[in-house]
Amino acid sequence: MLDIIVVILYLFGIVFIGTVAGKFSTTTSDFFFGGQRFTWWLVGMSCVATLVGSYSFIQYSEVGYSHGMPSLGPYTNEWFVLPIFLGAWLPIFYYNRLESVPEYFEKRFSWGVRQVVIGFLLLYLIGYVGVNLLTIGVALKGIMANDPQLASALGFEALKSLPFYSETVDYQIIVPAILVAVLSAIYLHSGGQTSVIITDLVQGFLLLFVGLGVVGLGIHSLGGFEPFFSGLPDGHKFPFAHFNDPPKFHFVGDFWNDAAVGSFAFYIINQGILMRFLSARSVTDGRKAMVFVALFMMPLAAISVGGAGWVGKALETHGYVTVGDPKEAFITVAKFVTLPGVYGMVVAAVVAALMSTLDTLITAICAVVVNDIIRPRVPGQSDEYYLKIAKQAAVVVTVFGLCLIPVFNQFASIYQALSHFTSILIPPLIIVVIFGVFVRKFSATGALWTLILGGVAVQMSVWFPQLITPIAHGVDPSENYSFMRALYGLLSTSIIATIMTFLAPERDMEKLAGLTAYDLDTALFRFKGSDPNFEKSGARVELDVCQSLPEGDGDNIRLPRSALDELALKPGDMIYVTDTRWWWGGLRSVHARVAETEAEGDKVEMTESMFQRGGFYPDLKLAVEKVF
Amino acid sequence: MFVASMTTLFKSGAISWERAPDRLLVKGLLIGLFSFMTVHGTWIWMASR
């Protein structure tokens, strides 16, 4: 009973926090990008909750139990994507003020390529929403199967007496999914990305705390690190898997499938993840957030989700528990090491992993619907109009996702067809992005044919697996090369893209300005409206605030001469003004420009509406920082 | 793969020493990767003892 109270308190706490944070969301920019005001640690921390999916604890603890520490692999592969993401993709999006992945494809290539990518992206994201909702149902059903008292306390037995009860409906999957979806929809409707980032921060902490807590308690109950390590078979202790064996889990497959393709798809093509980094207050903070995520938070999350499997193996060796089915490693270990009430936190962490992934996906779909479908067809409307559509879309997408649960649950072939379709298009999309960013001569015709022929080439390898054999690195073909297909996809599509670059080269170089890695300065100029100011200066100045500027002054603010000198600022430069208390993480902040005239006193002068937008307090100092 | 993409970004001018945030980025990446490699190296050495 105590466990149930903990879970319910947690769920309502999250909705409360999300709804309160939603008060800071008043424009579409706030709804989709959190007003681009958050600091790196807040973006990074919230990102971890998104990246850890609803099934991660069960799936990676299973790998950890069966294969040991190589279970860290899939979560520590992010660094391959760092150069292109940090050096080109993030700045291109941020400085060109692009709002969705398909929008880049239209600007860089053509309207037609954008439409193909919209269709693909919507299928990918909506399918993901349905799968996530289904997996939380399956995960919670698994927990209840281990704990019949919990199921009966939650009222699933009582459901059988209801008049509309049907044996064909799996209530233990459907009911938790509906509950979680409705709760996410409440705070999403209220604040979009702003609410998502703040709730994901809390959920990220919980995930790490619970996962690492289970590992720590497990090692403690074993009697320390020595019995823990001695309880693991030798092969379980190394950080990497075997090079090409067994066919279901090997190093070279993990590299090509997860590092080279999976990470690219997640950070470059997944609209939801990209939007999270675009919510940072500057490109520099977005980059810091990504480095923080890839090199620090994800390795920590990997231990958090997979560590229970290692502990389970050691506990079994020493005779404390019997795991039996590796899929149950996480639940078995969590139940063994926790007391009532604490186990409730474990269940809450599993729910948190779902909610944080789900809310990001729904915000991403809303962004694609508003920015790629509604805005181009109904242009020139007010921001309130698009914000209203975005909020309605959040509810519609959630309901649609719920409708997919019984479909995916009963017709596994539909889900398989969907994931098969996305998996054959992901390698061509990655190559089109890489060529789009680095090869100026790569044209719209080239991009379209690369997507089509690349998809065909990957599909051919499904029909004729022997096509992959020459590059299979000696992997056994019994698993139909499910991992090595990624390398084949990248290679074959690169060849097609190279041929297309020569056959149909881009001629209009002017249209590419600011959209490739070769002229980011153009994008910087476009973002600011004048030359960027990278002159060396102090980090920040703290000043009192006064709301004395008339409303017509837009985003301009006036600073005293001392502050202008300290920060080496010129009129028109972009600045960031924030509450001085760091732990707000940028929630109380605004972007502004330096006005032509200086402030008369020793205060920062702004308009009342900007003061309100920043959520500032009149009697507290503000910190001013130079952007460029 | 990592080195190739970093080199391409430098050659293309997407990352430049002229811009202070880019210098910070490269330093951060190198320190991060060095720590990452050190942890993995130490781990392999410990596990193979």
**Per-residue pLDDT at A54:** 67
Q: Give the pLDDT mean for A406-419.
A: 75
Sheet holding A589-594, edge to edge: A556-557, A589-594, A574-579, A622-626, A541-549, A603-607
Please report the DSSP string for A210-240 in residue order.
Answer: HHHHHHHHHHHHHTSHHHHHHTS-GGGSSSS
The yes-or-no verdict on residue A182 having pLDDT over 70 is yes
Q: CB distance from B38 to chain A under 8 Å?
A: no
**Per-residue pLDDT at A609:** 86
Residues in B touching A294 (Cβ below 8 Å): 32
Q: CB distance from B17 to chain A under 8 Å?
A: no
Give the burial string for A54-83 (b: 16+ CB within 10 Å, else e). Answer: bbbbbbbbbbbbbbbbbbbbbbbbbbbbbb
**Per-residue pLDDT at A243:** 86
Q: Which amino acid is at B4?
A: A
CA B4, B9, B13, B17 torsion-angle sign: negative
Question: Cα–Cα distance between A201 and A359 in angstroms, integer?
Answer: 13
A 10 A CB-CB count for A371 gives: 22
Answer whether A577's CB lies under 8 Å from A623's CB: yes
* Among the partner residues B13, B47, B48, nearest to A518 by beta-carbon distance: B13
Q: Give the pLDDT mean for A210-221.
A: 92
Q: CB distance from A238 to chain B under 8 Å?
A: yes
- Give me A453's structure tokens: 């022929």
Helix (H) or strand (E) holding A541: strand A541-549
Q: CB distance from B27 to chain A under 8 Å?
A: no
* Among the partner residues B15, B24, B33, nearest to A87 by beta-carbon distance: B15
Residue range A2-26, pLDDT digits in tens: 778 888 888 889 999 999 888 888 8
Identify the weakest region by mean pLDDT among A89-98, A117-126, A163-172, A251-260: A163-172
Residue range A134-175, pLDDT digits in tens: 887 777 777 777 677 767 766 666 767 777 766 667 777 888
Interchain CB distance below 8 Å, B2 and A79: yes
Residue range A369-409, pLDDT digits in tens: 999 999 999 888 888 899 899 889 988 988 888 888 888 87
Please report the DSSP string for A136-203 in residue order.
Answer: HHHHHHHHHHH-HHHHHHTTHHHHTTSTT--TTS-HHHHHHHHHHHHHHHHHHHHHHHHHHHHHHHHH
Answer whether A490's CB lies under 8 Å from A481's CB: no
Among A residues 295-334, those touching chain B with beta carbons less than 8 Å apart: 295-296, 299
Q: DSSP state, A509?
A: G
3-state SS of A327-371? Answer: HHHHHHHHHHHCCCCHHHHHHHHHHHHHHHHHHHHHHHHHHHHHH
The yes-or-no verdict on residue A532 having pLDDT over 90 is no
What ranges make up the beta strands (E) of A287-337? Answer: none
What is the model's pTM?
0.90
Query: For chain B, how big is the Rg over CA atoms in Å?
Result: 15
Q: How far, rounded to the nearest angstrom, does the alpha carbon of residue A12 sit from its chain's CA centroid?
A: 23
What is the percent of chain A where pLDDT is above 90? 28
Interchain CB distance below 8 Å, A87 and B32: no
User: Which of B3, B10, B15, B30 to mutate: most A Cβ within 10 Å?
Assistant: B15
Identify the weakest region by mean pLDDT among A53-57, A361-365, A440-444: A53-57
Q: CB distance from A82 to chain B under 8 Å?
A: yes
**Per-residue pLDDT at A289:** 93
Identify the weakest region by mean pLDDT among A144-153, A260-269, A307-316: A144-153
Question: Cα–Cα distance between A279 and A193 in angstroms, integer?
Answer: 8
Question: Cα–Cα distance between A219 and A98 in angstroms, integer?
Answer: 48
Our CA-based measurement puts residue A358 at a distance from the nearest CA of chain B, in whole angstroms, of 30
Nearest to A578, CA basis, from A93, A33, A19, A36: A36
**Per-residue pLDDT at A520:** 86
Interchain CB distance below 8 Å, A517 and B44: no
Residues in B touching A291 (Cβ below 8 Å): 25, 28-29, 32
Of residues A509 and A454, more confidently modeled: A454
Residue range B8-47, pLDDT digits in tens: 888 888 888 877 778 888 888 888 888 888 888 888 888 7
Q: Is A545 helix (H, G, I), strand (E, B) or coil?
A: strand
Question: Cα–Cα distance between A361 and A394 in angstroms, integer?
Answer: 10
Identify the weakest region by mean pLDDT among A301-310, A377-386, A416-425, A571-580: A416-425
Identify the weakest region by mean pLDDT among A17-26, A413-422, A520-529, A536-545: A413-422
Contacts of A590 (CB under 8 A, 6+ apart): A35, A37, A576, A577, A578, A610, A613, A614
Our CA-based measurement puts residue B30 at a distance from the nearest CA of chain A, in whole angstroms, of 11
Q: CB distance from B11 to chain A under 8 Å?
A: no
Residue range A597-627, pLDDT digits in tens: 888 878 888 988 888 888 899 888 899 998 8
Residue A495: pLDDT band with limits 50, 70, 90: very high
Helix (H) or strand (E) holding A460: helix A444-463
Residue that has been written with the tokens 């149909």 in this structure: A504
Question: Cα–Cα distance between A340 and A39 in angstroms, integer?
Answer: 37
Nearest to A196, CA basis, from A13, A346, A50, A389: A50
Number of CB pairs < 8 Å for A and B? 79
Q: Is A502 helix (H, G, I), strand (E, B) or coil?
A: helix
Cis previous bond, A148, omega within 30: no
The yes-or-no verdict on residue A489 having pLDDT over 90 is yes
Q: CB distance from A91 to chain B under 8 Å?
A: yes
Helix (H) or strand (E) holding A592: strand A589-594
Q: CB distance from B28 to chain A under 8 Å?
A: yes
A 10 A CB-CB count for A539 gives: 9
Q: DSSP state, A26?
A: -
Q: CB distance from B34 to chain A under 8 Å?
A: no
Q: Which amino acid is at A32?
A: F
Question: Cα–Cα distance between A512 and A392 in angstroms, integer?
Answer: 35
Question: Cα–Cα distance between B45 and B38 in angstroms, integer?
Answer: 11
Q: CB distance from B20 to chain A under 8 Å?
A: yes
Question: Cα–Cα distance between A110 and A506 in angstroms, integer?
Answer: 12
Torsion of CA B9, B14, B16, B22, to 10 degrees: -100
- Give me A252's structure tokens: 């070279």
